[in-house]
Structure 1
């Protein structure tokens, strides 16, 4: 899930640069610098508490309230703390491409962006810049307009036409100061425009701000809005990283695809709001069940994918089986006046990611196993080593009319279904409450308990509140149809009906 603390840490560089600049001005005797320092400290005081850094809030408040003679020491303490937080959280360095033909300007720009904070590549021509981009992932580009082999504006157009750099921030550095040149560059996709000679501190702050902004946008584009899990685009990026790490360290890597069972029925029965809450509930438990080194993403709909670091498919199978048991122990419960309890099961396929296997290959393999799990009764977690035995789908039939019951049982058994039959509604209910069925067929009129009462009790039972139910009613009893659908039936059939129609409806509900 998107980490709000990390978002705050990612943006710290801009505040640090701004405070350093204000500190320098303050030590030079600038009165305006005092107001600037206190204003930045006020901003940090609020955001520190919001994002879970009370120490930042406390130190920023000290700066904001410090008397003039203590301001310098308070500011130094705040800066030291911010730099420490940023250093401890930072992973890979930001990568800058400088496209500049002047050796003097190259040296000046490289001095602004030290190796301790950045990895910098320098190109003296447009051709060199494009060659560097084929070999390295660049986070921001500083572009001069006057190059030996091209107008910088033509190169800017190429940056915006390339999928690799279409979203990469580009800052123009040029001696050209005309409004026409500036507006053209912005129209072509430039993010900032600096006229040479540039102010080193302002440029450094602008670069940091653009990097922070780009990182935030990238993070948001990689996050599924509903579950706050990484999305499909993020998974495709992480797959390459996990696969490379697996090959480098010669450790196993597995990919699991998970799909919630009967999720369409949850939406149909309870509405999409409850369905969304079920997806959120499942995603939280999935993340908690796996290790921090694993990667979980929402693939789409009710499908999720997990990259299992340093794990064989059988090892991943054990982890997901624990998740399945946890969900059975703690079914989803909604809140509010009309609270409902919904049991959650899922099917999953887990495949090994080999050196030659692409993400599409891995997804296809896992999906094939997932499909087998669905058709062997759902609530299955399969690998290539699993003993896959497709069990017949089980149907409970509650029908007291002997001729109708014989007709249904004959056709369903012939089609491979496992049938349990009762002529009494109360007995059928008792069986459903102690056994698991894939589908239930209820006649409206039965001795012991009519079909409506059985239906009402089934929908109160966590075992059966999402099992597909077909109601059988006599021709002309439209009130029965409306009542059954209102009470939670998934479908109805009017007697007499054909075997073909009955099988088609059963197939649709079990799909």
Structure 2
């Protein structure tokens, strides 16, 4: 028998937060293990191509086929070969591959601890599968059962879905999120000073010292403002900013970059909202943060509510616009077809759980929902729509999500908002995207379709190719490689890439000859070329740049720096 008493259900919702706090460390452990296994697979499949070293190929094959309990032993065998094989240790890619393998090994070594974590997780899931049904939350019960019975390679996805379902119920009970700031700073003294000053304003400030900790933190908490240093122990601050902008959780956060004025070029980092020079003026920092935090829960002041959706009315939104006077932003108009009142309330509840505190949702007749997000373009708002669609998919069967939900996007202008809404409604059928579970179509939206950028590497070192394939594909780019200078021009003629990474010392034609030949056919704008070579004296750099290269990097190199430079030519 299940309880439907509101007081009992609210009691249960309050206890769910404790469950989430217990599950999050387990989820992070699973994600670290998954990422480690993914890195390992990419490296080992790359080493299989190192045909000049048959023993290394054999060791990589054995590691790929190994059972979990003996996998650390196989990784150690590969590491020992890389460390002691004649001529291989000097290769510039060996150090990168070896360090990655050591990092993977540190994560995978404790098989016993992993088994203990799995047992603990299944125990919590078993308890939730019973209590969820008892208190009237069948969605929690179903998601928990999926975790309890999931295979080890599927359990992280199942757990992520369970946490999402739990958070939705907890969020219903949290009417006004507190201001939260994430501070990323390696200097403990500066970290303490900034955090102390922000706490004095009544703001909650979480602090970490590395980029790796950032990814774990944003899984757990939504942040309105992120303050990061330019120089971090494990990643360039500009690279961190770029990756934060790509993630739905942080794409709209206010990002502040701290750096010495001589080491920062604002033109190179357009994704930063604000640059603060060092030494940091704490009072100026507080004043700059105060404005974005004043937008939190934009609709909280305007309490005229549309009864079906439970959202503020259009008149409340107009009042908000007159008071805030936003310069720019974007609209998303959602419409459902043939929905019951219960179905409308269900997906609106999901939408409210996903949007940012400073967003303004509006309930309209129809039923329809208008979402306004300040200071973004419709293309940026599209990223949120894609994230919301994934949430719909993750709980579609349990929640019985309606079969047809559409959304149209438009830029906010100075024109009367009611007139803008009328125009958007009139053009809805031409602009609409269908975001029903399992479907994401850009149907006549007028927005450009995203094309995958293609990178071609010309390098005869299989270790370099392996690590670059892993990092470049991780960024969402397509990757191809050739290992001989004579192969480059035929590969270009077959399919012109968006960027060529070119070694100078290769079998066949050397890199300088390849560069000379291709510049007779392709300009620097048509085909950007980055030279990546162990030949790094001044004469080589000058010859390469004069010969038509767009950029020049020497080995050994930082993959993160290379990715950052690449993106200048792929924007």
Higher relative contact order (Cα pairs below 8 Å, separated by 6+ residues): 2
Normalising by the residue count of structure 2, what TM-score does the alignment of the two structures yield?
0.25
Normalising by the residue count of structure 1, what TM-score does the alignment of the two structures yield?
0.28
Task: Indicate the structure (1 or 2) with the bigger Cα radius of gyration.
Answer: 1
